[in-house]
Structure 1
Amino acid sequence: MNSTVVSETKVPVNTILSDLKQLTKVGLSLSVVFSSVAGYLLAVDVINYTILFLLAIGGFFMVGASNAFNQIIERDTDAIMKRTMNRPLPTGRMSVNFAMFIAVLFTVLGLSILYSINPKTALFGAVSIFLYTCAYTPLKSVTPLTVFVGAIPGAIPFMLGWVAATGKFGIEAGFLFMIQFFWQFPHFWAIGWLQFEEYKKAGFSMLPMNTKDKKAVKQIILYTVIMIAVSIAPVLKVTGDFYIYPLTAVLVGFLGLIMLYYAIQLHKTEHNIEARKLMLASVLYITVVQVVYVVDKFLH
C-alpha cells in the first residue's frame, strides 16, 4: 500500500526538467549567451573555441542563477499574475530550498567558469547577478526606476564577450554595453505596457511614472532615438577597435526606425497591439543588429 502511495507522488523526470527550464528561463538564458558570443566575435581576429565555449556555458549559468534567485524572491507575487502563476515555486511543484540550491550552484559554476577565462569577466558576471537579484528585483515594487537598474545587468552580456576576449574594459566594451542598455527601455516598457494590469495586481511599477499613457510613450520614443544614435555611432570610428561600415550603419539605422515607427504608432493609438509590435520589433532589432555587427567585422 505504502509503495503505491510513494510511486504515485513521484514527480516525473520530464516535469522536473521542465520546471528547471522555467526556473532558470532557458530561452532568455540562451538569448544572453547569443549576445555574449556576438560580443566575443566582435573582439577577436582568431576565435579561441575553448574560451567561446566557456563563455557560453558560464554566461548561461550566470543568467540561470539570476532568474532562479528572482523567482525565489517573487514567488508570492508570481502566484498573483496569470503569466507567472504556473511557475514551479508558486504552484508548489518545487521547494524553495531546492530552487535555492540550484541558484547557488549555478552562481558558483557560472562565476568559476567565467573566472577561468579572466578575472574581469567573472567580476562583471558577479555584478550582473548581484544587481539583478539584490537591486532590480526588490525595486520592482518600489519605483519605476527599477527598469533603469535592471538595464545594467541586462546590458552586461554583450560587452562581457568583449571583456572575455580582451581581458579589458575599454571604449569598445562600453559602447556594446550602451547599445544593449538603451535598447532595454523600449523593450521592457513595451512589455510593461502589455502587462500593466497584471503588474499592478502584483504591485510592480514597470512603466515610466507608473502611468499607461502618452507620457510613458514619449519616454519610449526618446530612448529608442538614443538607442539608434548609439548603435550607428561606431561608423564615425570614435569607438576604438569597434567600428562599422557606412552600409552597416544604414541597415542598423533602418532596423531602429522600424522600432521607432511602432513607438510613434503606440503614441498615436495607445493600443496594446502596437505595444506588442514594438516588443517584437525590439527582439528582432537586438538579434539582427548583433549578427550584422559580427558579419561587418569579418568583412573588414
Structure 2
Amino acid sequence: MRIDITTDAARLLNDTESFLRRDPLRHTVIATVLVNRINGRSGAMETQFLSVRDSAGVVVGIAQCTNGAVYLGELPAHSISAVADAFLAHGIVLRSVEGDNADAAAFAAHWSAVGGGTFCEKYSTRLFGLGELSTPEAVGAPRQAVVDDVALVIEMIEAFGVEADVSHRLDEAAVRKRIEAGTTWLWEHDATPVTLVARHAAVFGWARIGPVYTPPRFRGNGFASALTATVASRIRAEGADACLFTDLANPTSNKIYQRIGFEPVRDFVHYALTDQPIGT
C-alpha cells in the first residue's frame, strides 16, 4: 500500500478519475473540490488531496483535508489508520473528520490514540440524489445572481455558515467567480432576494446543490423548495443529475427535499477533534 498527498488538484484528478467514476455520487464532495480548485473557485482555502494505492499502483482510496477538516472518500478499511498518520506526518493540525460512519469513527479513534486528543460526534448528514422532480409554486420568481449581488451572496453564505457551524469561508474572488459561472441563484419576492441556492459544476454526471439559505424572517413561504427545484431542473436540462446534503438533525429540510423528489442515498458522520495531537 502506498499513500500520496498533493495539493495539485489537476494531477490528483487525472490520477484518480477512473476510481472516482466508479461511484461519482459517493465522491461528489471530493470531485467538486477538485474541479473548483482547478477552476479557481475555491478562494484562499488550501486543500491537501490524499490517494491510496495498492501494491500494483492502482488507486483504491481517496480523502482530502481543508484547513484541518478531513473528508474521507471510499477507503480500504485497513488503510484508515495509515491515512490519519499520513496527514499528521505532513504537520497538519487536524480539527475534524467526516465520512462513512465506520470509517470516520475509526479515523477519530486512531487520531485520539496516537496523540491523546478527544473526539465527539458533532453532526450527521444524509446524501440525497434526485429522483422524480416535483416543482412547487411560491410567490416570487428565480433569477441567477449577477456580479452586483456579490456582497449579498457573501452575507447569505456567511449567515448559512454561522447557522450550520461550518468553518470554511469563501472570499470575494471565489464568490465572484462562482456567480460569473452561473452557479448561484436567488429567489426574489417583491424585488427582494429572499433565498440563496448555490450549485456546483457537474462532475461525472452529478452536480451538487448547496448551500441553500433563507434568512429567518423569510422562512415558511416555500422559497427554498421552489428555488432548489428550479436549480435542480436546470441541472437536469444540462444532462446531469442533482444531489445535496442535509443535516439529519433538521427534519424540516429532510422532508422538504424529499417532497420535491430527492431520495436518500447514504449517511455520513462528522467528528470534532479536540486537543492538538502530540508531534503536530
TM-score by length of 1: 0.25
- Computing the radius of gyration over CA atoms, which structure comes out larger, 1 or 2? 1
* Structure with the higher strand share, 1 or 2: 2
- Select the structure with the greater relative contact order (CA < 8 A; seq sep ≥ 6): 2
* Structure with the higher helix share, 1 or 2: 1
TM-score by length of 2: 0.26
